[in-house]
């Protein structure tokens, strides 16, 4: 089994706790579903949020989805002028037999603009 990294992002409508949690839960669920993963396959997940999102830790959404024994960490993105606002990103490290080319990176809502080359 190989260790692979899967990327994803979602843009939320506002810095409101419920919106951050819902957007993150949608992102995590899509990454897991599209890549046919269970929490047992996940080694760790790094979440980042743009500096304008401070209402909640995105990792809480993953905890609520059952990521109880998976190491999770949250960090802030660099405040780059003109960057897409209100974005939660993730990088999940997983064990999988899938080749890197078959992994599905997930970019939802406005975050699709971040990676038009790989957005599904």
User: Is 100 assigned to a binding site?
Assistant: no
Tell me whether residue 89 is annotated as binding: yes
Of the residues 4, 56, 86, 107, which is catalytic? 107
Question: Is residue 7 annotated as part of the catalytic site, yes or no?
Answer: yes
- In angstroms, the Cα distances linking 98 to 44, 103, 106 are 18, 7, 16
Does the annotation count 100 as an active-site position?
Answer: no
What is the distance between the alpha carbons of residues 59 and 116, in angstroms, rounded to a whole number?
25
* Active-site residue, from 30, 34, 77, 98: 77
Rg (CA), the chain: 14
Candidate list 26, 30, 74, 109, residue with the active-site label: 74
Q: Residue 83 — left, alpha, or beta (φ > 0 → left; ψ -120 to 50 → alpha)?
A: beta
Residue 109 labeled ligand binder: no
Q: Would you call 89 a catalytic residue per the annotation? A: yes
Of these residues, 63, 95, 100, 102, which one is catalytic?
63
Active-site residue, 115 included: yes
Query: Is 34 a known active-site residue?
Result: no
Closest CA to 89 of 13, 3, 35, 12: 12
Per the annotation, binding residues for prephenate are: 7, 89, 107
Question: Per the annotation, where are the binding residues?
Answer: 7, 89, 107
The residues assigned a catalytic role are 7, 63, 74, 77, 89, 107, 115
């Amino acid at each position: 089994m190989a260790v692979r990294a899967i990327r994803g992002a979602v843009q939320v409508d506002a810095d409101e706790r419920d919106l951050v949690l819902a957007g993150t839960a949608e992102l995590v669920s899509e990454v897991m579903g599209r890549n046919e993963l269970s929490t047992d396959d996940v080694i760790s997940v790094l979440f980042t949020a743009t500096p304008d999102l401070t209402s909640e830790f995105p990792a809480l959404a993953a905890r609520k989805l059952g990521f109880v024994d998976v190491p999770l960490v949250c960090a802030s993105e660099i405040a780059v002028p003109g960057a897409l606002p209100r974005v939660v990103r993730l990088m999940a490290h997983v064990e999988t037999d899938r080749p890197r080319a078959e992994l599905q990176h997930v970019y939802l809502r406005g975050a699709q603009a971040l990676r038009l080359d790989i957005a599904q």
